Structure 1
Amino acid sequence: IAIGVRDTGEREVLGFDIGTSEDGSFWLTFIRSLVARGLRGVQLAISDAHEGLRSAIGAALTGASWQRCRVHTMRNILSQVPRASQAMVSSIVRTIFAQPTQEA
């Protein structure tokens, strides 16, 4: 599924598809179908770090930056932390995403 966010902050489902795998060719076809339907001006694509998806974003959304999604980032961080410390680490990491400026 692809969800877009307008300048106004409104979210919109751009499209969805079901494939037999999440390989690069599936994602490239999916993203190209969105472009063919009029998707333009993508500045930032946020996704998990699936290599096929990242490659497809780079190929089909020229000029767009890529960012790893917060949920997947947090899951990976917490997978490296003992269970007893996960709540504390999670709360500290969330403060990173709550900063008012990039410099902060």
Structure 2
Amino acid sequence: MKLVISDAHEGIKAVAKLLCARWQRCRAHFTRDALAHAGKSGRRVVSAFIATPSRRETAEAASHQWRAVAD
């Protein structure tokens, strides 16, 4: 196993570490949590920021877009 994608459950994260696998937060949970912190007025903007890297064709392009969004 190389990659585990899940919610932030500590047990799942621990098993991934035990198996020397990388752990990644699932997109649905990440988006839900980000929108919860954005408030009603910021949800559209935050949703758009999260969606743009996900639509990139390569991992490199997505990574570049995430950095741009973070800035």
TM-score in same-fold range (> 0.5): yes
**Structure 1: any 5+ residue segments left out of the alignment?**
1-41
Indicate the SS of the match to 1:66. strand
Instruction: Determine which structure has greater relative contact order: mean sequence separation of CA pairs < 8 Å that are 6+ residues apart, divided by chain length.
Output: 2
> What amino acid does structure 1 have at the position aligned with 2:10?
E
Residue from 51, 56, 61 that aligns with 2:15:
56
Equivalent residue for 2:4?
45
- TM superposition score normalised by structure 1: 0.51
Using the aligned pairs only, state the percent identity: 38
- Secondary structure of 2:59's counterpart equals coil
**What value does the CA root-mean-square deviation take over the aligned residues?**
1.5
Structure 2: tracts of 5 or more residues without a match:
62-71
Query: Larger radius of gyration, structure 1 or 2?
Result: 1
Matched, 1:88 2:66: no
Segments of 4+ moved more than 3 angstroms: none
Q: SS of the residue aligned with 1:49?
A: coil
Q: Offset of 1:50 from its aligned partner?
A: 1.4
Cα separation, 2, equivalents of 1:63 and 1:56: 9
Shift of 1:63: 3.0
Structure 2 CA distance, aligned partners of 1:65 and 1:57?
A: 6
Residue aligned with 1:100, SS: coil
Letter paired with 1:53: I
Higher-helix-fraction structure: 2
Aligned length: 61
Alignment map for 1:15-30 (pairs within 5 Å) = none
